[in-house]
Amino acid sequence: MTYTVDLCDSFTKVGEATAFELDAVLRLLAVGEWQLSAPLVGLECDDVDDVDSIIVYDDQAVSRIIFAGLVRRVAGVDGGVTRIVSEAGTTLEFRGVDIFGLLGQRLMFPTPSTPPPWAAAHDTRTGPGSTVAAGYITDSIGSGAQPSRQIVGVTVVDPVIGASSTWDGRAQPLDQLVGRICRESGIVCQATMSSPGAYQFLFKTAADLSGSIIFTDQGDLEELSRLVTPATASYVIAAGQGDLTARAFAVADTGATGLDRVEVLYENTNVTSAAGLQTAATAQLVLHGEDVSVDGLIAADAAQRVRFLDDYDLGDWLGVEVDSVRYASQVEAVTISLSSEREVVRPVLGRASSNETLTLIRDVAGISARLDNQIA
């Protein structure tokens, strides 16, 4: 496969990179990052100072955008342009964030329609996770935002999915709020660019591909390890709204007694319904259950058997097989590494479990160090 990299000014093409090294990371429910290094002679552009964004296309019959990035520092991810002059010539290094980084540029105003000061303490919304998160995005950078906060070209797709609950917004970064809502409601938010300058935030339920896309310990996996974790809770008390005897409670219990009984309190005053509180208690019990899991990095040659966007997407569940035991593992990141010597697009899997009822909710920041090492 051959990829092309367009140099852009606000995602309008102003040139191309013909000799370069590109390393990028797309993260699940977190801001991604990228770095493009190229000799000045490898950049076909009238004025490289105009470059503030890039678009990466694959070689489909109809070219498709697989990555788009801004030269900008957002959410702790470095961004900027470094010019290195040496006897060998001039080299430019561009760094920045992916499309999800647009959310990191906004705070969630307690009253999105007005600037500070605000009369309300929080912007509180109740409903399915996708609807609440979509509303926050629309009112912060989309069509419902103040004119000065709008980003032209933003589309938000809400299929009305995810567990229903109540969430509060108060001056926190929008990327963190959307990520939390998605993790708590069991959905995925994908930030993509369908065409130059057309940004789409799409909510979906992750696909379970663990039965059809499988990587085994027979050469497909690197840095393989297996971890056995005893249950951290066998009796969960979920506490909702109310005070004292008027407070709502729900219990999920494995029936364990004696040394095997481990009690945990889960508090969430945003949960208002008895059914929602019972669902939360059961989910916490599963989350704290005994787990046998594996961690592994997919080998580059094995990763080329499947195509990003065609066969799998960020957040989907893939299969991992170790000692003839099948596990399901979520794609927590996708790394893109392109140069004249290599073209590798690789899914990075999170901890995988043999417990089919377990939905792992992991903080994507936990894999930042490993991803940073890969793009260094």
Taking the C-alpha atoms of residue 196 and residue 65, their distance in angstroms, rounded to an integer, is 8
Confidence of residue 376 (pLDDT cuts 50, 70, 90): very low
Given a contact cutoff of 8 angstroms between Cβ atoms, the answer to whether 37 and 371 are in contact is no
Average pLDDT over every residue of 223-230: 71
Helices and strands per DSSP (H, E), number in the chain: 6, 24
Average pLDDT over every residue of 182-209: 94
Residue type at 255 in one-letter notation: G
Taking the C-alpha atoms of residue 126 and residue 168, their distance in angstroms, rounded to an integer, is 9
The string of DSSP letters for 226-289 reads: EEEE--S-SEEEEE-SSSGGGS-EEEEE----GGG--EEEEE-TT--SHHHHHHHHHHHHHHTS
pLDDT at 373: 34
Distant-in-sequence, close-in-space partners of 87: CB < 8 Å, separation ≥ 6: none
Given a contact cutoff of 8 angstroms between Cβ atoms, the answer to whether 33 and 98 are in contact is yes
Structure confidence by residue, pLDDT tens digits, 84-122: 998 888 999 999 999 999 999 999 999 998 889 988 888
pLDDT at 231: 82
Average pLDDT over every residue of 23-33: 94
Average pLDDT over every residue of 118-142: 93
The SS3 assignment for 210 reads coil
Residue type at 65 in one-letter notation: I
Pairing of strands 214-216, 317-322: parallel
The three-point CA angle 7-12-13 to 5° equals 40
Pairing of strands 325-338, 317-322: antiparallel
**Above 90 in pLDDT, residue 76?**
no
Closest to 262 measured CA to CA, from 270, 253, 271, 274: 253
**Above 80 in pLDDT, residue 167?**
yes
The string of DSSP letters for 121-188 reads: S-EEEEEEHHHHHHHHHHHHTSTTS-TTT--TTEEEE----S-EEEEEESS-BHHHHHHHHHHHHT-E
Mean pLDDT of all residues in the chain? 86
197: left (phi over 0), alpha (psi -120 to 50) or beta: left
Taking the C-alpha atoms of residue 93 and residue 123, their distance in angstroms, rounded to an integer, is 40
pLDDT at 182: 92
**Above 50 in pLDDT, residue 372?**
no
**Percent with pLDDT over 70 in the chain:** 88
Structure confidence by residue, pLDDT tens digits, 279-316: 888 888 877 877 666 666 788 889 989 999 999 999 99
Tokens describing residue 30: 């977190």
**Above 80 in pLDDT, residue 228?**
no
pLDDT at 283: 81
**Percent with pLDDT over 90 in the chain:** 56
In the sheet that holds 198-204, the strands lie side by side as 154-157, 198-204, 188-195
Other beta carbons less than 10 A from residue 215's beta carbon: 25
186: left (phi over 0), alpha (psi -120 to 50) or beta: left
Closest to 36 measured CA to CA, from 88, 87, 94: 94
pLDDT at 374: 34
pLDDT at 351: 60
pLDDT at 120: 87
pLDDT at 292: 63
Average pLDDT over every residue of 15-30: 93
Distant-in-sequence, close-in-space partners of 175: CB < 8 Å, separation ≥ 6: 30, 31, 75, 100, 101, 103, 104
Peptide linkage before 116 cis (omega within 30 of 0): no
Structure confidence by residue, pLDDT tens digits, 318-369: 988 888 888 888 898 999 999 988 889 999 887 655 443 333 323 323 333 3
Could you give the maximum distance between any two Cα atoms of the chain, in Å? Answer: 77
